Amino acid sequence: MCGIVGAIADRDVVPVLVEGLKRLEYRGYDSAGIAVLSVNDAGVADVRRVRRTGRVAEMEAAAQADGFHAGIGIGHTRWATHGGVTEANAHPHVSHGVALVHNGIIENHEEQRERLRGLGYQFESQTDTEVIAHLIHHHLASGLDLLGALQRAVKELTGAYALAVVSRKEPGKLVCARMGCPLLVGLGDGENFVASDVSAIIQATRRVIFLEEGDTAEVARDGVRVYGADNAPVEREVHVSDVSLASLELGPYRHFMQKEIHEQPRAVADTIEAVIDAGGFPAHLFGAAAPDVLADVESVQILACGTSYYAGLTARYWIEAIAGLPCSVEIASEYRYRAAVANPKQLIVTISQSGETLDTMEALKYAKSLGQAKTLSICNVPESAIPRASKLVYYTRAGAEIGVASTKAFTTQLVALFTLTCTLAKLQGRLNDEQEAGHVDALRQLPGSIQHALNLEPQVQVWSERFAPKQHALFLGRGVHYPIALEGALKLKEISYIHAEAYPAGELKHGPLALVDEAMPVVVIAPNDALLEKVKSNIQEVRARGGEMFVFADADSHFGESEQVHVIRTPRHVGVLSPIVHAIPVQLLAYHAALARGTDVDKPRNLAKSVTVE
Ligand code: HGA
């Protein structure tokens, strides 16, 4: 979603802002802008701003043409929530020499708008954000300094925000605030930065302070001061980010999604490294408190959104079958608004690639408010909000995931969830040494099996050409592979815009079979597991109705090909980890179908990477 970058330095910060915004492009956005303070010959500062709908490169060209140079400025990529995609709605928003960028949603913006109109302010945009610029100006005009005006203004806002602000009255500082949306301060040498995501400033510094909920900060060239929610000065830890530049760059690949699909053997190997090193599933892999927290767990509730939700659905099969614990999985945005029955011995597991998915965060807060103290998060971004709000954490080590459509985050979440399953099973006394060694061994083999699945790319590409002209597709799976069918359908619709639905194959005759004809390709995930014969019967049902089938079956499934039934043989059956291997070909199918249709794979329309609004 939206991205923020800000800088104050002895050099021209415009290239820093532009590069930062380019690194934030992956989050999904529809317009971009920067505002700088430029000082005229008489030493008077004023705000200069450039905004464009469309790509950062267009905004950059306009800034260059206008000769933008300055030692202080803020930039933004906007993913519209309030007000259409127009230049007037793009950030920064300006009020009488105060310029501001905002991530999040201000819930009481209408009430504030009325109040500010009454005070004589005129609005140029339809955004919720513009009220903040006017509010800050209003408090500045009443005599407060910039930081004080920001601190006063945020107390009048309800909703979520990360804010970065400059003012022509105080050209030597940036001020910023965080509530509900991530924001960090980057510490350079005689220069400092603000960003919503460390990737935006990694070219300038790796030393960062993650602001906490309710924090504000004053960022000058020679120093940074952070204030807590009560406006008293606070010390916040300085972290050194280990995000690698290579993970933020495309290298030899055409798209980040393609790069990230191919990084999966490495990402999975890195994520399971701790298990392999330990030669088993010791509870402390989830944190020092894990032996206590996990010891008397009676059931598991998984909360997540999108692809992470499908990872959770897959894990349910494992947790119930291997650990013998009841497990339910719920979409976070649903759970947070229903009267859930609390059980303090239930383990709440949240899954979020970014660790800042707002619905998942709110679901976690809600669970805690119900007295659910046993919380565990599976997350790919260290120090992000959701793991920080959880008792236990398992970090997937996928590296930065830039493509909006999640790939390596999904498969690494699955291995993390499998690790959790085995850890719980062990604590429940349901995993003997031999079984434990067997699961460790299966994990050790997994990167190799994933590589085999990647080698199927040329065959999948041939299929994708048949898919490209289609308007609809049906995905079928059974048991632990049903969530992979769901994930395959989601990937296809996200990036190729082909409408796709997934069903448990046994449901076919209860409705979706009515859709099947020669225009409806049916993708079937059919490995050699206990449900294979059932899936084969379901396939006959499709075949009898003239449907064309695309079957991913592992080498042991003995599927016959025919004119109507196309088969790609996935690697030898890998037992319980099979859904992880079968995730690969459905990702490849979506990727190549999107390529064939010419859509923007890494930036699908209307979607954003980290969903930080409700
Ligand atoms: N509400 C603001 C910012 C939106 C945002 O943070 N998106 O991720 C707007 O609509 O401009």
Give the DSSP per-residue string, 392-458: EEEE-------SSS-SHHHHHHHHHHHHHHHHHHHHTT---HHHHHHHHHHHHHHHHHHHHHHTTHH
Q: 3-class DSSP state for residue 477? A: strand
To 10 degrees, the CA torsion angle through 360, 365, 366, 368? 130
In this prediction, residue 1 carries a pLDDT of: 67
Instruction: Give the Cα separation of 104 and 107 in Å (integer).
Output: 10
CA distances from 136 to 95, 165, 203 (A): 8, 9, 31
Give the end of a domain, one of 225, 248, 271: 248
pLDDT digits (tens, 9 = 90+) for 238-274: 999 877 777 788 888 999 999 999 999 999 999 999 9
Domain count, the chain: 3
Pocket test for ligand 1, best of 77, 128, 606 (most atoms within 8 A of CB): 128
* pLDDT at position 161 over 80: yes
421 and 484: one domain? no
In this prediction, residue 404 carries a pLDDT of: 87
Are the C-beta atoms of residues 420 and 286 closer than 8 Å to each other?
yes
114 and 238: one domain? yes
Instruction: Give the Cα separation of 148 and 337 in Å (integer).
Output: 35
- Name which residue leads in pLDDT, 206 or 180: 206
> How confident is the prediction for the chain on average, in pLDDT?
93
Instruction: Give residue 164 CA to ligand 1 midpoint distance, Å.
Output: 13
Ligand 1 atom nearest 613 alpha carbon: 8
pLDDT digits (tens, 9 = 90+) for 95-133: 999 999 999 989 999 999 999 999 999 999 999 999 999
In this prediction, residue 610 carries a pLDDT of: 67
Instruction: Give residue 6 CA to ligand 1 midpoint distance, Å.
Output: 17
* pLDDT at position 391 over 80: yes
- Sign of the dihedral through C-alpha 593, 597, 598, 602: negative
Length of the chain: 614
Instruction: Give residue 129 CA to ligand 1 midpoint distance, Å.
Output: 7
User: In this structure, what are the phi and psi dihedrals at residue 194, rounded to the nearest 5 degrees?
Assistant: -135, 140
Determine the average pLDDT of the residues in 460-483: 94
- Name which residue leads in pLDDT, 181 or 91: 91
Determine the average pLDDT of the residues in 420-444: 96
Instruction: Give the Cα separation of 61 and 65 in Å (integer).
Output: 6
376 and 435: one domain? yes
520 and 583: one domain? yes
Q: 3-class DSSP state for residue 43? A: coil
Q: What would the two tokens of residue 361 be?
A: 């965060």
Determine the average pLDDT of the residues in 231-244: 91
Give the end of a domain, one of 226, 248, 270: 248
200 and 230: one domain? yes
412 and 540: one domain? no
User: What range does the domain containing 490 cover?
Assistant: 457-597
Nearest CA to ligand 1 atom 1: 105
79 and 210: one domain? yes
The reply to whether 605 falls in a domain is no
pLDDT digits (tens, 9 = 90+) for 546-579: 888 999 988 777 777 888 889 998 887 789 999 9
Are the C-beta atoms of residues 388 and 356 closer than 8 Å to each other?
no
* pLDDT at position 613 over 70: no
Other C-beta atoms closer than 10 Å to the C-beta of 481 total: 27
Ligand 1 atom nearest 612 alpha carbon: 8
Pocket test for ligand 1, best of 1, 2, 31, 110 (most atoms within 8 A of CB): 2
Ligand 1 atom nearest 80 alpha carbon: 10
In this prediction, residue 538 carries a pLDDT of: 80
| Per-residue confidence band for 287, with pLDDT thresholds at 50, 70 and 90 | very high
The residues annotated with a catalytic role in the active site are 2, 609
In this prediction, residue 559 carries a pLDDT of: 76
In this prediction, residue 54 carries a pLDDT of: 92
Residues with CB under 6 A from ligand 1: 1-2, 78-83, 102-105, 127-129, 612-613
237 and 275: one domain? no
163 and 59: one domain? yes
Instruction: Give residue 174 CA to ligand 1 midpoint distance, Å.
Output: 20
407 and 540: one domain? no
Are the C-beta atoms of residues 407 and 258 closer than 8 Å to each other?
no
N-terminal to C-terminal alpha carbon distance within the chain = 11
214: domain CATH number is 3.60.20.10
Other C-beta atoms closer than 10 Å to the C-beta of 14 total: 22
* pLDDT at position 330 over 80: yes
Instruction: Give residue 533 CA to ligand 1 midpoint distance, Å.
Output: 50
Report the percent of the chain where pLDDT is more than 90: 79
94 and 237: one domain? yes
Instruction: Give the Cα separation of 352 and 94 in Å (integer).
Output: 34
Determine the average pLDDT of the residues in 518-525: 91
Instruction: Give the Cα separation of 104 and 87 in Å (integer).
Output: 18
pTM over 0.95: no
Are the C-beta atoms of residues 302 and 374 closer than 8 Å to each other?
no
pLDDT digits (tens, 9 = 90+) for 25-74: 877 788 999 999 998 888 888 999 999 999 999 999 999 999 999 999 99
101 and 240: one domain? yes
